[in-house]
Amino acid sequence: MEVCNCIEPQWPADELLMKYQYISDFFIAIAYFSIPLELIYFVKKSAVFPYRWVLVQFGAFIVLCGATHLINLWTFTTHSRTVALVMTTAKGLTAAVSCATALMLVHIIPDLLSVKTRELFLKNKAAELDREMGLIRTQEETGRHVRMLTHEIRSTLDRHTILKTTLVELGRTLALEECALWMPTRTGLELQLSYTLRQQHPVEYTVPIQLPVINQVFGTSRAVKISPNSPVARLRPVTGKYMLGEVVAVRVPLLHLSNFQINNWPELSTKRYALMVLMLPSDSARQWHVHELELVEVVADQVAVALSHAAILEESMRARDLLMEQNVALDLARREAETAIRARNDFLAVMNHEMRTPMHAIIALSSLLQETELTPEQRLMVETILKSSNLLATLMNDVLDLSRLEDGSLQLELGTFNLHTLFREILSLIKPIAVVKKLPITLNLAPDLPEFVVGDEKRLMQIILNIVGNAVKFSKQGSISVAALVTKSDTRAADFFVVPTGSHFYLRVKVKDSGAGINPQDIPKLFTKFAQTQSLATRSSGGSGLGLAISKRFVNLMEGNIWIESDGLGKGCTAIFDVKLGISEGSNESKQSGIPKVPAIPRHANFSGLKVLVMDENGVSRMVTKGLLVHLGCEVTTVSSNEECLRVVSQEHKVVFMDVCMPGVENYQIAIRIHEKFTKQRHQRPLLVALTGNTDKSTKEKCMSFGLDGVLLKPVSLDNMRDVLSDLLERRVLYEGM
């Protein structure tokens, strides 16, 4: 072995130790060099590590440590100064870096530790969120099921469909084995199995309502787990193999309310519940989860609402059907009533006609009979016949009118007529009876009473005739006064106020008689049909008692009022009525009289300036005739002899009235002479009218043969003269003015 100049190491004794140190250092160095490489490699792989600078430092520190240990290898043997220098540098660096790293680590290690803590925290949170997610998901699913169920339930108002759908949907949603609904019976003492899910035809199966399990369920609004062996849950024949699934029951309130507020369930006053029983599949070991129970409760509420709506709808449909039936029945009744009325009217009309015809015959023939020569007894008999038949005719008219009035089918026939004339005509109609009874009638027409009015003339005449007739009928002595006036206001009846409008006025007619009078208590009865006061005085008079009732109805139709005042029995009475009439524009209206005469032709109501010639030997009657014609507006010339007449007559005169009362033919000569005078101007010849005291056929024939245009019976009334003049001037001939 070569020996060097240096200190001889103690190789043989410490050689082994040295060798081991040598090897250890070597490995340390390798490790020190490889660790940073590994670190770098892994850091490069994971991009997340935030402390690169630390790694670099650490790497440097380890590299330097390794370098130190590596250099240490050379220091075991003698080594030069450079090696020592390098060694020293290395160690110094290492020291610096390691110190720096140590300092750095003080900062870093807490951070690293907190990262760990955060990681733990986040893991916990994630676990929590997972749980909540699970919850929400289940709730959402529940909600979806409920919505779907509700939609299905509410899409129909038919009770059966509702319940069936509920069971089906619940069964599907919750995957039930069986689902059943028990409804209370009518008596309320039992629950009857009404609907089941699987079994198609539920058997008539009831359980009493007072079972403890049922009470338990009805006592709470929540779904209650019940034993599968309870009677309500035992829907299928039990075969021993199965372990029955859990059963839940919930109550379904049966209400009839249509307005529910969510938090405001009304106190269940009816206390009628149905029972819904739900069974999980057997042998499934499934449990009822809370969310499933909640689902069931919600569904039960919805079903309750839907059922109550269905119940209300059923009721309203029933009511509607009932109403329709009633409607049909009423319609039928109305039609029957109408038919009856029509039949009655037809009957009345026919009977009326049938009865009137013979009546007319009787009246006509009796009148004719009256005109012939009769002995006093015969005359009396004929008069009685006539009176009775007239009464009967009036009765028939009254009955027919009254029935039409009651129907409301009577309508006023409005027309224009002369009010003054109407009253005079009425008076002339009543005259005969009044004469017989020696009762003078006076007529007092107010000066402001319009002459031409619009109204129902015939019916007004009927009213006045009725009242005046009554006055005459019930008076044995005294007098009767008829007054007609325009009334303004302040009428007797408190509920009837008279307001004269522009084109209307209210006519008041007062008929006062001095007859038997009426007891004030009987006055209200007067206007009722068929009632007559039973006083002795009136018993002898005839009449049906309909007259006043009809008059009252007519007066009402004319928007008026009628009443009777009496101071008592024996003091006479006054009948007063107001009716509404229209005012018409005076003189150019056509005059229509209540007694139909000649059909209406346009008449001259105004003869102003009409030149006429009057020939009469009798001064007085000449004056009267002149007065008549002057009153009608004519321009009258009078002559008293034939010669004078011939001299005076000219084409200006339109009419010549000649008196032919004197016996002989001379009077008619004048007519021939006038004809001769006007042979050339035939169209201008005045009309010739004879005034004579008798109008038998011979006189008429004579007049015609002598060329007279008309004959008039003396004395001529004013109305007669007016009519005659109109007719004459219209038709240029007159042989009816008798």
Beta strands in 495-588 (DSSP E): 504-513, 561-566, 573-583
Determine the Cα–Cα distance for residues 306 and 310; give it in Å rounded to an integer.
6
CA distances from 396 to 183, 340, 390, 544 (A): 72, 20, 10, 10
Name every residue whose Cβ is closer than 8 Å to that of residue 448 and which is 6 or more positions away in sequence: 485, 486
Measured in degrees and rounded to the nearest 5, phi and psi for residue 408 equal 80, 10
Chain position carrying tokens 């405001």: 264
Among 94, 104, 117, residue whose Cα is nearest residue 52: 104
Nearer to another protein, 359 or 427 (CB): 427
| Smallest separation (angstroms) from another protein to the CB of 484 | 10
Which of 282/692 has CB closer to another protein?
A: 692
Q: Which is nearer to another protein, 479 or 592 (CB)?
A: 479
Q: For the packed helices 290-371 and 376-407, what is the interaxial angle rounded to 10 degrees?
A: 160
CB of 637 to another protein, least distance (A): 16
Q: Computed from CA positions of residues 643, 644, 647, 649, in that sequence, does the dihedral angle turn out positive or negative?
A: negative
Q: How far is the CB of 434 from another protein (least distance, A)?
A: 7
Please list, residue by residue across 244-255, b when 16 or more beta carbons sit within 10 angstroms of its beta carbon and e when fewer do.
bbbbbbbbbbbb
If the CB atoms of residues 35 and 485 are measured against another protein, the closer one turns out to be 485
Nearer to another protein, 707 or 715 (CB): 715
What are the φ and ψ backbone dihedral angles of 115, each rounded to 5 degrees? -55, -40
Q: At closest approach, how far in Å is the CB of 485 from another protein?
A: 12
Using CB under 8 A, list all residues that contact another protein: 424, 427-428, 431, 434-435, 438, 440-445, 447, 479, 481, 617-621, 623-625, 627-628, 630-631, 659, 661-662, 693, 714-715, 717-718
Q: How many CB atoms lie within 10 A of CB 217?
A: 25
* Radius of gyration of the CA atoms of the chain, in A: 67
Query: How far is Cα of residue 660 from the mean position of the Cα atoms in its chain?
Result: 78
662, two tokens: 């004197």
How near is the Cβ of 469 to another protein at its closest, in Å? 16
Q: How far is the CB of 689 from another protein (least distance, A)?
A: 16
3-state secondary structure of 342: helix
- Give yes or no for a contact between 445 and 484, defined as CB atoms under 8 angstroms apart: yes
| DSSP string covering 255-305 | ---S---TT-PPP-SS--EEEEEEEPPTTS-----HHHHHHHHHHHHHHHH
Shortest Å, Cβ 498 to another protein: 22
Asked if 232 and 275 touch (Cβ cutoff 8 Å), the reply is: yes
Of 449 and 646, CB closest to another protein: 449
Contact 660, 689 (CB under 8 A): no
Q: Are the beta carbons of 221 and 294 closer than 8 angstroms?
A: no
Q: How far apart (Å, rounded) are the C-alpha atoms in residues 581 and 725?
A: 30
Q: How does DSSP classify residue 734?
A: B
Q: How far is the CB of 717 from another protein (least distance, A)?
A: 5
**Shorter beta-carbon distance to another protein: residue 389 or 418:** 418
Identity of the residue, 522 or 719, whose beta carbon is nearer to another protein in the bound complex: 719
Q: How far is the CB of 427 from another protein (least distance, A)?
A: 4
C-beta closer to another protein: residue 215 or 717: 717
If the CB atoms of residues 535 and 618 are measured against another protein, the closer one turns out to be: 618
To another protein, the closest distance from the beta carbon of 666 in angstroms equals 13
CA atoms within 13 A on the CB side of 215: 5
Tokens, residue 102: 């140590």
Residue in the structure block whose two tokens are 């309203």: 316
Q: How far is CA 140 from CA 168, 173, 232, 293, in A?
A: 20, 13, 31, 14
Give me the least distance between CB of 431 and another protein, in Å please: 6
**What phi and psi values does residue 347 have, to the nearest 5 degrees?**
-60, -50
The residue (of 586 and 619) whose beta carbon lies closer to another protein is: 619
Rounded CA separation 456/558 (Å):
9
The distance of closest approach from Cβ of residue 661 to another protein in the complex, given in angstroms and rounded to an integer, is 6
The minimum distance between CB 487 and another protein, in angstroms, equals 17
On the CB side of 466, how many CA atoms lie within 13 Å of its CA?
28
The residues, ordered by sequence, that sit 6+ positions from 527 with a Cβ below 8 Å of its Cβ are 548, 549, 552, 562
Query: Least Å distance between CB 715 and another protein?
Result: 5
Closer residue to another protein in complex, CB, 71/634: 634
- Closer of 421 and 538 to another protein (Cβ): 421
C-beta of 301 vs 723, nearer to another protein: 723
